[in-house]
Amino acid sequence: MRGSVNYTLLVYLAGMGFLGSIFIAPNLDISFRWGVLQAIGLAGLFTMLFIHMPQIVRYLISLTTLAVFQNISAYTVKINSTIIVISDWMFQDSHGGFIGGIIWGAMMLLSTAVVDDFRKNNISQILVSGIILTAFGTLIQLMWQYTSTPEFGGISKERMTPAYVMLSIGLAAILFWIIWFIYDKKQWTKNKSYILEPYGKNSFFMYIIHPLIFFILILIFTREAHVAVIFVAGVLNVILLWALSLIMDKKKVYIII
C-alpha cells in the first residue's frame, strides 16, 4: 500500500471533480456540488500525510479523527445569517461536502491500516479487522437507533457517520477476504473467472464514463416510465459497460491511475 506518491494526480482528481460538478442554471447562475472525485482527491491528500507511518499509528489517527469529528458535527455554524448544525450542513451535499472530505480521508487512512501490504503480511488480519469494524459499526448503529446517542448518527454517507465508515470498511474487508479465499487460496474456479477481470482492469475509466450513459437515459425516460423499463435499461447499461471493458482488454488498452 505504501510507495511513491503522486500528489499531482490527487489534485487532478479533485479538479476534475469540480469541473464535472459545475451546474449552470438558465439564468446563468453557477453552482458547485461536491462529488466523488473531489472526495477521493481530498481524502488522498489527507492519507498521504500519514501513509508512511506504522500501521498502528494509522489506526489511531483515523479512529481518533472519527471520534473527534463525531463530536464536532453536533456544533452549530452561521451561514448567510442562518444557524445550522454542521451535520445538517453536510447532509445538504453529496458525500458530506468539503467538511465530509476530512472523514473520507480518515476512512481511506483506516482502509490502508486494515489492508496494509497484504502480499507480505498475514491476510487473516484483514478478516479479523473486518469483523471487528463491522461489529463496532453495528453496535454504534444500534446504540443510536435505540438511545439516540450520538445525536447525529445512523448509517449516512452524507453525514459521514462512524457507523457508515466502520461498516463500509468492515464489510469490504470481509468480502475481500472471501474473494481471496475462493480465487487464490482454494482456487475453486480453477482460473476460469475471466468474466470478472476486464471491468476491473479499467474500473476507473468505466466509472468516469458511466454517468454519460446514465444522463442519456434520463433524457430518454420520463417520470412515468415503468419500473420494469428502468430495470431493463439498467441491465443493458451494465452489459454495455462490460462489453466495452472486454473490447478494451482484448485491444490491451488500459486507462489506470
Is pLDDT above 60 for 16? no
Stronger pLDDT, 86 or 78, i.e. the higher one: 86
- Residue 176 C-alpha cell reads as 475481500
pTM of the model: 0.76
**Beta-bridge partner residues of 30:** 24
Is pLDDT above 60 for 220? yes
Distance CA 257, CA 205 (A): 9
101-105, 141-145, 189-193: the lowest-pLDDT one: 189-193
φ/ψ of residue 93, rounded to 5: -125, 155
The per-residue pLDDT of the chain, averaged, comes to 82
Specify the pairing of strand 82-85 against strand 76-79. antiparallel
Exposed e or buried b for every residue in 86-104, given b needs 16+ CB within 10 A?
bbebbbebbbbbebbbbbb
Query: Shortest CA distance to 43 belongs to which of 90, 113, 107?
Result: 107
Distance CA 22, CA 213 (A): 18
Instruction: Give the pLDDT mean for 163-182.
Output: 94
Task: Please compute Rg for the chain using Cα positions.
Answer: 21
- Report yes or no: 111 and 104 within 8 Å, Cβ to Cβ: no
Model confidence band, residue 233 (pLDDT cutoffs 50, 70, 90): confident
Note the pLDDT of residue 24: 41
Distance CA 251, CA 182 (A): 29
Is pLDDT above 90 for 109? yes
- Residue 174 C-alpha cell reads as 470481509
Note the pLDDT of residue 6: 56
Q: What is the pLDDT of residues 32-46, one digit of tens each?
A: 566 777 777 788 888
